[in-house]
Amino acid sequence: MAFTLYSLLQAALLCVNAIAVLHEERFLKNIGWGTDQGIGGFGEEPGIKSQLMNLIRSVRTVMRVPLIIVNSVAIVLLLLFG
């Protein structure tokens, strides 16, 4: 029962970090998840895969700078308070 709000925050930070380190050219293109491979025309609705790729790309673009700040704060706090 050690599932607290703090551990949820830590898990969320780790997940967002994991999404941010996926490299476009070396990794995503090799498994077919690159952002230029997903545009399925102006069809009716995008499938789950293209939604996921859009989500990964937007998270990487939006969260790059805030992640630097949040990670630095987390590192300092963990060093000080364990």
Which spans of this chain sit near other proteins (rule: CB under 8 A)?
A: 1, 3-8, 45-46, 48, 51-52, 55
Closest distance to other proteins from the beta carbon of 26 (Å): 25
Closest distance to other proteins from the beta carbon of 48 (Å): 5
Give the nearer residue to other proteins in terms of CB position, either 7 or 30.
7
Give the nearer residue to other proteins in terms of CB position, either 52 or 68.
52
- Token pair recorded at residue 55: 């989500």
Give the nearer residue to other proteins in terms of CB position, either 55 or 76.
55
Distance CA 35, CA 24 (A): 8
Closest distance to other proteins from the beta carbon of 36 (Å): 20
